[in-house]
Amino acid sequence: MQNIWFTSDTHFGHKNICRGTTVWQSGYRDFDNPTQMNEVILQNINNVVKEEDVLYHLGDFAMGNPEKNIIQIRKRINCKAIHLILGNHDPFIRSNKMNSHSLFSSVQNMAVEIINNKPITMCHYPMHTWGARHRGKSWHLHGHCHGHMNGSSYYNDKRALDVGIDTHPEFRPYHFDEIREIMINKKIKN
């Protein structure tokens, strides 16, 4: 069986998300600079996602210099098949001015896929409802929130999950089987 992975919000090249270069008061990652952050994230992705695997990236891939932070970073990710769901920080990819769509297997605003017999709605943003949501028949995977909604009432009665890289305990993508375990253990109100 093919290994399938999910992540979002890598923010490659984003200086304000790094402690050492930010002007923000909070909401940043504990890195000295974007180069250090990029290297850690790339290593964490390449350690688990293999060349023949499939990776769904749910937005906010990179910021800043498109050549350096989109094209060069993408070339350093071992996985051949990356499906990108566009996020709010993906304007260069959205506009495709640099032929960035050729870097990804697909580029979409949202995707509904059946993966391992499970309907999954993927969007950068959290959704209140989606197809076949009732009784947990489908999942919704999203990013954007950087884990700030985890533990909130939003997740109490939904099979929804923020798959942002910040939310994984090992700061890496989630494997399909990990998500299945999380969803099985959710207490869903019918």
Q: What angle do CA 25, 28, 31 make, to 5 degrees?
A: 120
Report whether pLDDT(18) > 90.
yes
Question: What is the average per-residue pLDDT within 175-186?
Answer: 93
Residue 190 lies in a domain: no
pLDDT for the residue 3: 96
Residue 125 lies in a domain: yes
CA-closest candidate to residue 14, choices 36, 44, 43, 42: 36
Residue 30 lies in a domain: yes
Structural domain boundaries enclosing 19: 4-184
* Distant-in-sequence contacts of 97-101, Cβ < 8 A, 24+ apart: 97/66, 98/66, 98/67, 98/70, 98/71, 100/66, 100/70, 100/71
Residue-averaged pLDDT of the chain: 90
Residue 189 lies in a domain: no
**Highest mean pLDDT: which range of 12-16, 18-22, 63-67, 132-136:** 12-16
- 1 pLDDT tier (thresholds 50, 70, 90): low
pLDDT for the residue 157: 66
Handedness of CA 127, 128, 130, 133 (dihedral sign): positive
What total number of domains does the chain contain? Answer: 1
Residue 111 lies in a domain: yes
Contacts of 129 (CB under 8 A, 6+ apart): none
Looking at the chain, the whole-number percentage of residues with pLDDT higher than 70 is 94
Q: Which of 73-87, 97-111, 131-145, 169-183 shows the lowest per-residue confidence on average (mean pLDDT)?
A: 131-145
Which CATH number belongs to the domain containing residue 173 in this structure? 3.60.21.10
Q: Tell me how far apart the alpha carbons of residues 16 and 151 are, in angstroms, rounded to a whole number.
A: 25
Strands across the sheet containing 106-108: 106-108, 81-85, 54-57, 4-7, 174-175
Looking at the chain, the whole-number percentage of residues with pLDDT higher than 90 is 67
Report whether pLDDT(26) > 80.
no
pLDDT for the residue 123: 97
Residue 163 lies in a domain: yes
pLDDT for the residue 156: 67
H-helix or E-strand spanning residue 113? strand 110-115
